[in-house]
Amino acid sequence: MLAVAGCGSSSSKVSAASYVGSVCSATAGWYRTVQAAGAKLQSTVRTSKSLSDVKSAYVGFVDALLHATQRAQQQIKGAGTPSVNGGKQISNEVVNAFHRAQHGLKSAAASVRKAPTTSSAAFEAAAGGIQSTVQRSLQSMSALAPQKNPQLHAAALKDPSCQRLRALG
């Protein structure tokens, strides 16, 4: 049973309100982790004179994004399938967006570990490529929106987790 649940979103039907509440809660947690990791990275980049320390901060940043994305995907898989028209497809789209992001973030994590610290120019060039990989990885998530389904949209407008998430963005 657990192996089947790991292959996609949960097949249990849940209300639109329950689904968006779970998704918004998972996404808000993800977003807070990304913000904290980004702030820590920025602080290190601004204050450190050591490329090794900056590289370690980049590794920590990408790892934090990857782990937060994995955690959110698992939470969203457990959210069930919304009892709305196209609910299974919607649920799969959300889970798959986080899955695609994980794939790209794994690549970025491998790249950041290989980034050279022999010169600032070499490291900055590598960091720019890693930043692009992270941004591309997260693009599929930005297209997700409850507006595609009126029931989910209405539930999201009422849900406190979704309201807090909108306030974060």
Per-residue pLDDT tens digits for 35-52: 999 999 999 999 999 999
In the three-class reduction of DSSP (H, G, I as helix; E, B as strand; rest coil), residue 82 is classed as: strand
- pLDDT at residue number 158: 93
Residue 29: CB partners within 8 Å, gap ≥ 6? Answer: 68, 71, 72, 75
pTM: 0.86
Domain ranges of the chain: 14-168
What average pLDDT does range 4-17 have in this prediction? 66
- pLDDT at residue number 11: 65
Residue 94, pLDDT above cutoff 70: yes
Which of 4-13, 55-64, 135-144, 160-169 has the highest mean predicted lDDT (pLDDT)? 55-64
